[in-house]
Amino acid sequence: MGGVCSLTKGGGVNEYGKTDEMAITLAQSLGQNIGIFSDKKRILNGECKCDDRWSGCIMDDVGFYLPKRFSDCNVEEYHNFLNSGGGACLFNKPMKLLDPPVCGNGFVEPGEECDCGSPAECAREGEACCDKCTLTQGSKCSNGLCCNSCQMEFMGVVCRDAVNDCDIPENCTGNSSQCPPNVHKMDGYTCEKDQGRCFNGRCKTKDRQCKYIWGEKATAADKFCYEKLNIEGTEKGNCGKDKDTWIQCNKQDVHCGYLLCSNISPAPRLGELQGGLTSFSVARHSASLDCSGAHVLIDGDTDLGYVEDGTACGTDRICFNHKCLPIQQFNFSTCPGTTDKTVCSGHGVCSSELKCVCYLGWAGEDCNSTSPLSYLVVGPTAPVSGITSTNIIVGAIVGSILFLALILAVTAWCYKSYKQRRYVESEVHRRFCRQMPAGEYVTKPGDADSFYSDMPPGVSTNSGCSSKKRSACLSHLQICTLSFTPSMPSISQNILLFGFRSNGLSHSWSERIPDAKHISDICENGRPRSNSWQGNLSGNRKKLKGKKFRARSNSTETLSPAKSPTSSTGSIASSRRYPYPMPPLPDDQRKANRQSARLWETSI
């Protein structure tokens, strides 16, 4: 019963008598193999009816001549059989025939681009895509679970859902209109919230077996019933029969023997009772436990009254031939990437074909490589159209492009701001900095920590800030520098404002240039230029010792043309007309006879 996909079952057909009579016998036999049986209780209650009241139902024990229809109960039983995983092999349609190629048989054979079947079958599906076994213009396929509107479904679209915990959903490959072969999980996987084990694509539990035989109200008996009765070796509890003797179960095998249920019906839903019901009540913890069972025969030798092979009987143990065996003895873990703790690298399941079926986002024989499908959301073929799948992919691509564009825009803005800031800084240095003229200089005492500590030796700064305040001056100077605008017409004005609004930072050697033609002399070595220098005063320093001088800030003197511009020595003049001997300037060296037009602001 229901063993059409069982590897241990075989079948044969003997043709006898008339064709019509043989067809009914064959239909009943096939019905039993696909899980259809005659539920006697429902038949007696009048729940199972056929549309053809004159011919009767195919699965009835007795009925009218040549029935042609299955009852509503039979259809329901067939659906339950498929949903339980019993018909896994029925979904694997053969891909080729032994007969010669013929257009219209539904198989794409050599010399054909498509084959939607007979004219009636093509009218239902594929007529617009296939014309005389040739694809129409723009068509990629004509039929199949992975063909939608004459186009192949994208890779990863589910074409066959899982029917239970032991089944595996199949996905389209993207290069075929046919759904891949139907496979299920390898035997030994847990199911039903770890209450059962997968075996031949079906979840085997004692509770499910009790419902299958005795109805939906039946449940598996308490484990104490198995431990109490199956160890006795009687009709009420045993591990099989050897000729006329009941076999006593070993203590570790009691859960693989006689099937004990609670709340069973007076008659089984299928098969024939051999003997009577075995009902027994066991008192435990002031409660009465119902321990009932029966030997239900199908086809004369198959007894449904025993726990099925593959049913869980303990931690990592399953039943086989009335023995509770460790799951390791079945050699279930044979897929690539399988260890003692993980199967398929932990990213997939091992199929009945001993191949890893990877989870979404993983690929490879051992499911240890990432896959681009992790960024796609896929679903069943039936409710999802090709347009929806296309929109998903287009949306993913557009989203990625927009994200990259945003990153490029932010990068460009940051680069532009960086270049603009560098331009302003370079323009400030170019406008402010002046090259120091050659000559010997004298360093004033106490200027070791001068604000311009990187000035050439001998340069006196006389900064308006004391050494304690110079850090504040520097901060103010930096703020003023960053406040410049890059506008070229006004940058010179801003630079002048910068020099006079620097929190009292007035250097004693600042130079005022009256003519625009001297602007080219600005910023030649990248540091502020001090023009408040003294000549070689070593010879006159003793004369000045002890004398007090009044600071003369903002006093402008003109270099005497009578004085040699190349002289680097001299004394303090008695007149304000010749304040100090000046070192030669670069332009004065080139034009020694030219009177300098520079005005020097000095202070002592």
Last residue within a domain, chosen from 347, 374, 401 = 374
Residue 470 — very low, low, confident or very high, per pLDDT cuts 50/70/90? Answer: very low
Write out pLDDT tens, residues 379-436: 333 333 333 344 556 667 777 888 888 888 888 888 778 778 777 777 766 665 544 4
In a domain, 229, yes or no: yes
Q: Tell me what the mean pLDDT of segment 490-510 comes to.
A: 39
CA distances from 438 to 164, 435, 531, 568, 589 (A): 95, 9, 11, 10, 10
d(CA 107, CA 94): 9
Helix (H, G, I), strand (E, B) or coil at 198: strand
Same domain, 357 and 337: yes
pLDDT at 64: 61
| DSSP string over 253-298 | GGGGSB--EES--SS-SSSEEEEEEEEEEEEETTEEEEEEEEEEEE
In a domain, 269, yes or no: yes
Which residues have C-beta within 8 Å of that of residue 438, sequence separation ≥ 6? 583, 584, 586
Would you say residue 604 has pLDDT above 50? no
Same domain, 308 and 366: no
Share of the chain above pLDDT 90, in %: 13
d(CA 509, CA 603): 8
Last residue within a domain, chosen from 301, 329, 357 = 329
Q: Tell me what the mean pLDDT of segment 512-528 comes to.
A: 45
What does the mean pLDDT of the chain come to?
Answer: 70
Same domain, 226 and 244: yes
Same domain, 360 and 311: no
pLDDT at 135: 92
Radius of gyration of the chain (CA): 51
> Structure pTM?
0.52
Would you say residue 360 has pLDDT above 70? yes
> DSSP assignment, residue 185?
B
In a domain, 149, yes or no: yes
Same domain, 71 and 129: no
Find, among 300, 366, 306, the residue nearest to 339 by Cα: 366
Quote the domain boundaries for residue 72.
Answer: 19-84
Q: Hunting for tokens 């003023």 — which residue is that? A: 480
pLDDT at 259: 94
343 or 598, which is more confident: 343
Write out pLDDT tens, residues 304-350: 899 999 899 988 899 999 999 998 887 665 788 777 778 888 888 88
pLDDT at 53: 65
Same domain, 294 and 353: no
Same domain, 131 and 70: no
Same domain, 214 and 313: yes
In a domain, 247, yes or no: yes
Same domain, 218 and 302: yes
pLDDT at 218: 92
d(CA 255, CA 264): 19
How many structural domains does the chain have? 4
In a domain, 483, yes or no: no
198 or 428, which is more confident: 198
Q: Tell me what the mean pLDDT of segment 547-571 comes to.
A: 43
Name the region of 42 (left: φ>0; alpha: ψ -120 to 50; beta: rest).
alpha
Would you say residue 90 has pLDDT above 60? yes
CATH number of the domain where residue 125 is located? 4.10.70.10
10 Å Cβ neighbour count for 344?
25
Last residue within a domain, chosen from 269, 304, 329 = 329
In a domain, 384, yes or no: no
Same domain, 260 and 319: yes
In a domain, 546, yes or no: no
Q: Give the least confident one: 127-131, 175-179, 226-230, 524-528.
A: 524-528
pLDDT at 11: 65
In a domain, 412, yes or no: no
pLDDT at 529: 47
The first and second tokens of residue 571, run together, are 């004394």
Same domain, 353 and 299: no
CATH number of the domain where residue 338 is located? 2.10.25.10
Which amino acid does the sequence have at 419?
K
Contact (CB, 8 A) for 473 and 465:
yes
Q: Hunting for tokens 């009044």 — which residue is that? A: 550
Would you say residue 562 has pLDDT above 70? no
Same domain, 226 and 275: yes
